Amino acid sequence: MDDPERSVDADRLWRDIERTGEFGATVSEPERRGRTAPTGSEANGAARDYLRDRMNEAGLSVDVDAVGNVRGRWVPDGADPERAAVAAGSHLDSVPEGGIFDGPLGVYAALEAVRAMQDAGVRPGRPVEVVSFTGEEGSRFGGGLVGSSVATGKRGVEETLALTDDDGVTLADALGGVGYRGEGRLDAAAWDAWIELHVEQHTRLEETGARAGVVTDITGITHVHATVEGAADHAGSTPMADRTDALAAAADVIGAVEDGAREEAADGGTAVGTVGSLSVEPDATNVVPGRVDLGVDLRDVERASVDRTLAALEESLSRVETERGVETSTERSIDLDPTPTSERVRAALREAAGAADVEALDTHSGAAHDTMHVADVTDAGLLFAPSRDGVSHSPREWTSRTDCAAATRVLTGALWRLGD
């Protein structure tokens, strides 16, 4: 019996990632590969079919729950099938014109970990499950983290199936159309532990030369929809002193968000603040803007920091009401607290990295992942592989074959340790 980390087959892993990248492919060039595979699309269905076939080849039993979460279960010889499983995985859906690693790396690294344990003759005492969650990206249904929100009991099955895309197609119909509307509900709370491997989407690993990142905290996220209402007027005949310009007022608000986040990020902080969407009415060059809708994204691994930046936003809205005569309103559409990962899982990842001779760095995640939900119901960890130039959600997203394999060796060792 060999250490399973040594049995990771880099070529086999790479073939699975590249093959998945062919479903919905938009760009196919050396080190530049793009795909569009939103949940329930033909490309997403084909990617699911390919995964199911690979799971069957590896001797896993495969099932699909009512919202399309795919699970492959391996019960090693001698393992107690009644013991809580250890699980790993990610997602197969993509954003439009996304890359080939975000999601599929985590799914196929989990499957490769099982195959490596099988090849090494390692038989954990617990079942091991490989999972592909539905709709992590949210580019078609539900805003993201859809399958994991159901698996953790945060969203009901029926309300989730009733979600619609921009064309009015329900998630239920989309999943049914590709043959992945199953039965029951995957229960993440039943797992003993969970690990997700993902590309970093940042440059910390690349800059330090580390081959893996052990995530200590996943950022909190608050999305605010803010509205500034002024008065639309003629751009030529309305004196400057008589204007109630909603866009000029919104510009003050945008500056306040940036200033607040910069203050929180000073001296090595991790806060970020973004006004990423702007809708101006009536949106005509010769009309003073009468209304502006802003989409604000605030993030940090410290909740108090997010709250302070949020307070700066709200103070700026109050100020422009007084100084510019506009009316404002806000609504929070997302409000997720920062999520610490499990120390037990982090310890297993660090031990596995040492055993595999892979340099690992403790870091944090500035992006949301399914692990945010899973961490609320069981011990959960998140592992990063280096991401060239930090690029993600783009055909330029790239993680080398060597780095994919190195991070998978760490994942394999950690699952083995947690499952023993």
Q: What's the pTM value of the predicted model, to 2 decimals? A: 0.92
Residue-by-residue DSSP string for 272-306: EEEEEEEEEES--TTEE--EEEEEEEEEESSHHHH
Contact present, 383 and 411 (Cβ < 8 Å): yes
Domain residue extents for the chain: 4-219+338-419, 220-336
Which among 382, 378, 273, 257 is positioned nearest to 320, based on CA atoms? 257
Secondary structure class of 59 (helix, strand, coil): coil
Contact present, 219 and 202 (Cβ < 8 Å): no
Q: Which residues contact 129 (CB under 8 A, 6 or more apart)?
A: 71, 72, 73, 74, 85, 86, 87, 88, 89, 191
Residue ranges of the chain with pLDDT lower than 50?
A: none
Contact present, 222 and 241 (Cβ < 8 Å): no
Q: Which stretches does DSSP call E strand in 230-373?
A: 233-234, 272-281, 287-288, 291-300, 327-336, 339-340, 360-365
4-219+338-419 and 220-336 have identical folds: no
111-134 residue pLDDT tens: 999 999 999 999 999 999 999 999
φ, ψ at 40 (rounded to 5°): 80, 0
Q: How far is CA 163 from the centre of its chain?
A: 19
- Domain 4-219+338-419, what architecture? 3-Layer(aba) Sandwich (3.40)
305-345 residue pLDDT tens: 999 999 999 999 999 999 999 999 999 988 989 999 999 99
237-286 residue pLDDT tens: 999 999 999 999 999 999 999 999 999 999 889 999 999 999 999 999 99
Q: Which residues are 227's β-sheet partners?
A: 293, 329
**Which pLDDT score is estimated for 154?**
96
Q: Name the pairing type of β-strands 233-234 and 287-288.
A: antiparallel
Q: Which residues are 295's β-sheet partners?
A: 225, 277
Sequence length of the chain is 420
The CATH number of the domain covering residues in 220-336: 3.30.70.360
Buried b (16+ CB within 10 A) or exposed e, 335-371: ebebbebbeebbebbbebbebbebebbebbbbbbbbb
